[in-house]
Amino acid sequence: MKKYLFSLAFLASGIAMGQNKMTPELLWSLQRVSGNTVSKDGKSLYFSSKKYDWKTEKSKTYSFKINLATGKKSKFNGADGKTIVQQSASVWYAIDDQFIYKSEDNGTSWSNVRAIIKDADNYSISPNGKYLAYSKEVLVVPTNGKDIYKDLDKTTAQVYTDLNYRHWDKWSDGKFNHVFIEPMKGGAAKDIMKDEPFDSPQKPFGGAEDFAWAPNSDGLVYVCKKKYGKEYAQSTNTDLYYYNLNNGSTQNWTEGMNGYDMSPTFSPDGKYIAWLSMKTDGCESDKNDIVVLDVAKNQKLNFTANWDETVGSFKWDKNSRDIYFTAPWKGTEQLFSVSIFDNLMVKMLPHVRQITDGKFDITGIVGQSNDDELIVSRTDWNHATELFAVNTDDGKMGALTHENDATYESIKMSKVSSRMIKTSDGKKMFAWVIYPPNFDPKKKYPTLLYCQGGPQSALSQFYSFRWNFQLMAAQGYIVIAPNRRGMPGWGVEWNAAISKDWGGQPMRDYLAAIDDISKESYVDKNRLGCVGASYGGYSVYMLAGMHEGRFKTFIAHDGLFDLKSWYGTTEELWFANWDIGGNYWSKPQPKSYEQFNPSNFIDKWNTPIMIVQGGIDFRVPVEQGLEAFQAAQLKGIKSKLLYLPNENHWVMNPQNGLAWQREFYKWLDETLK
């Protein structure tokens, strides 16, 4: 590991020699690094780097190979425009827009195996190379008028008789993701879901991780929520189904497990299968555990049942006796492990071992280079994603990629610190504080309270290309980002405390944070702002009616303004039912609609507010932003609406992203500086 230590020290220092500051344009010019795979012999790392041209809104992706012994990087041209979809033993598979290819020399040369399937996605080849699995949309429930009435080919009518008629940013067209299997050499394709009105992979974000071949190639495990309509919209109960290729039968391997069961992954020796599992139906932010099944013995055990945190993602060790995983941990995301051994036989819960610790996030596990080294992706608030080698014995890390080093050397970095804050109920709350470059404690600075979305998502050392604290600090703002109630990394109880109490203690936590930082002499108490998106946007709306003059400006992006109209238009009702407490016509009515509904406190709004709203956001539909803007305007409050008609709950298009940044800082310049 010695060869990596200099670059690690440089990145960890948070200090750069340059004189420039981060700008929105510079932020969008950063290389976006992602790890692809580690060769089976552990000698080579393959990764890709994407760069956007914000003027054309086009991107280019380049593939590279790193010799892990020497650290030498070379361009990986063997794929030649292909997308690598699988690495199995010494065999690789890749696709382009016409064919499936096979390589037996780590991608140096490729042979054409067969043509791709029209409109198919998520290709997966069986371990024995004889079968191809893939997903493809199937029309099951005719919904569009032209599908119902074949003679009306120009009609745009859509007909619905049940819920889940739209999801995330798409209206339902009656088509469902199904898994197909067919011989690699060609032959009849079999829809293993038999025209059912269910999805696998799961919409809207499921992919190839939603199905996995058994190591003996005799069957396939796939993730599916076999519910439809209103039942689907109110449940999180996905299960793992095993399709037997020999007899065509399907078996539910997670029968009686009522929450999310996701990411099935067989151990390298084929003896076990592990997956991520939540216990409670309807609670999408329940504790995520690693469950392991001994396939032959049909014995399963929750390996993290007694661990007071929630799992992010995981990967098997080469020896099939260890599982490495990421998890939120005290304002960061770190690397952990559990050992299998014979725990399943004796029903003994293993010990969770923490491997890394520091002011950074481990955002993913790429692969294993040798018995005591993993390749991971890592970020912190001054650095976008790069790949690192981690010694699994002592947690020491070394940088492998340096795609943005030249940019970092040209700009000044932000100082990042943390503090513990006493909350109104006597608890201790952790908060990150990000300072402007060249921070001078003798000066006074405008300060922003950042409100995290989720609501149950970790506020860790992430690197966002929108909510970027390095960029905020570079514009001269101090940012305080508290780990208020409802955030993982501080125990299951702290994480769960926010449900049905959105506008209660979490709001008092936010006020405690801004009051605490305001005691510092370098904070200008006359220039405090409050910003956030999603639940963070809700928090902005809520605080606008209860801040008692603390803030001089607000910015809310895709926030929930009126809980009644939101309940009537959002799509994943399991979330609303669990976190709000149910529908608004119940007797008695859940208290959220009265006590924690921002629109009920609009009479107390008196502070400038900027509202950002995506036009195809079905999670927090467009009416929420429009209602808030109209209320502010009619009250005569200085307000601005930034409407992004082709954006969902996020901002995905480069020029929209830049417009977002420019309007964000223009508003702060007008109202805070």
Would you state the pLDDT for residue 462?
96
| Percentages of the chain per state (helix, strand, coil), in multiples of 5 | 20, 35, 45
pLDDT value at position 4? 46
Rounded distance, CA 231 to CA 34, Å? 37
* Whole-number Cα distances in Å, 239 to 167, 213, 226, 227: 20, 16, 8, 11
Tell me, rounded to whole angstroms, the distance of Cα 296 from its chain centroid: 34
Out of 277, 534, 539, 592, the active site residue is 534
Supply the pLDDT for residue 16.
Answer: 43
SS3 156: coil
Give percent of the chain above pLDDT 70.
Answer: 95
Q: How many of the other CB atoms lie within 10 Å of CB of 587?
A: 4
pLDDT in tens, 172-231: 999 999 999 999 998 999 999 998 999 999 999 999 999 999 999 999 999 999 999 999
Q: Which amino acid is residue 397, in one-letter code?
A: M
Bridging pattern class, strands 523-533 and 553-557: parallel
pLDDT tier at 314 (50, 70, 90 boundaries)? very high
Global pTM exceeds 0.85: yes
Mind listing the pLDDT tens digit for each residue in 289-301?
Answer: 999 999 999 999 9
Where do runs of H (alpha helix) occur along 518-572? 535-544, 563-567
Annotation says 534 is catalytic: yes
Tokens standing for 249?
């039968």
Answer positive or negative: Cα dihedral of 17, 18, 23, 26: negative
Instruction: Report how far residue 554's alpha carbon sits from residue 404's, in angstroms, rounded to the nearest whole number.
Output: 33
What average pLDDT does range 149-153 have in this prediction? Answer: 97
What pLDDT, on the 0 to 100 scale, is given for residue 13? 41
Write down the catalytic residue from 317, 383, 617, 639. 617
pLDDT band for position 3 (cuts 50, 70, 90): very low
pLDDT: which is higher, 82 or 511: 511
- With cut-offs at 50, 70 and 90, classify the pLDDT of residue 14: very low
- pLDDT attached to residue 82: 83
**Per-residue pLDDT reduced to its tens digit, 324-353:** 999 999 999 999 999 986 555 556 667 899
pLDDT tens, position by position, 304-313? 999 999 999 9
Q: What is the mean pLDDT of residues 18-37?
A: 91
Contact criterion met (CB below 8 Å) for 362 and 334: yes
Contact yes or no for 364/326 (Cβ under 8 A): yes
Cis, bond preceding 455 (omega within 30 deg of 0) = yes
Cβ pair 193, 672 in contact under 8 A: no
* pLDDT for the residue 673: 78
Query: Quick one: tokens of 494?
Result: 């702290």
Flag whether pLDDT at 401 surpasses 90: yes
Q: What is the mean pLDDT of residues 569-588?
A: 97
- Where in the chain are the domains? 414-671
- Examine the pLDDT at 463 and tell me if it is beyond 60: yes
Is the Cβ–Cβ distance between 460 and 431 less than 8 Å? no
pLDDT on residue 348? 62
User: What average pLDDT score do residues 19-47 get?
Assistant: 91
pLDDT of residue 83: 84
649 tagged catalytic: yes
Per-residue pLDDT of 347-359, as tens digits, reads 666 789 999 999 9
Question: What is the mean pLDDT of the segment spanning 252-261?
Answer: 98
pLDDT in tens, 402-422: 999 999 999 999 999 999 999
Give pLDDT, residue 351.
86
Indicate the average pLDDT of the chain.
94
SS (H, E, C) 47-91: EEEEEEECCCCEEEEEEEEEECCCCCEEECCCCCCCEEEEEECCE
Residue 6 has pLDDT above 60, yes or no: no
User: pLDDT-based confidence at 11, cuts 50/70/90?
Assistant: very low
Report pLDDT digits (tens) over 495-533. 999 999 999 999 999 999 999 999 999 999 999 999 999
The percent of residues in the chain predicted with pLDDT above 90, rounded, is 89
| Lowest mean pLDDT, pick from 86-95, 328-337, 612-621 | 86-95
Distance CA 481, CA 431 (A): 5
What's the pLDDT at 347?
60
The CA–CA distances, whole Å, from 68 to 149, 368, 373, 619, 644 equal 60, 11, 11, 43, 44
- Whether omega for the bond prior to residue 654 falls within 30 degrees of 0, making it cis, is no
Choose, from 383, 547, 557, 649, the residue flagged as catalytic. Answer: 649
Do the Cβ atoms of 181 and 133 come closer than 8 Å?
yes
Question: What is the Cα–Cα distance from 151 to 160, expressed in whole angstroms?
Answer: 20
Question: Of 85-89, 171-175, 426-430, where does mean pLDDT reach its minimum?
Answer: 85-89
For residues 616 and 19, the model is more confident at 616
Lowest mean pLDDT among 11-20, 138-147, 495-504, 643-652: 11-20
The pLDDT score that the predictor gives to residue 499 is 97
For the domain bounded by 414-671, which CATH number is listed?
A: 3.40.50.1820
What residues are paired with 47 via a beta bridge? 35, 64
Could you tell me the CA-to-CA distances from 65 to 5, 163, 372 in Å, in that order? Answer: 20, 48, 21
Q: Please write the tens of the pLDDT for every residue from 366-378.
A: 999 999 999 999 9
In 3D space, the residue among 459, 464, 451, 442 whose CA is nearest the CA of residue 24 turns out to be 464
d(CA 461, CA 421): 19
CA 387 to CA 379: how far, in whole Å? 9
Give pLDDT, residue 105: 85
* Mean pLDDT for the stretch of residues 16-45: 87
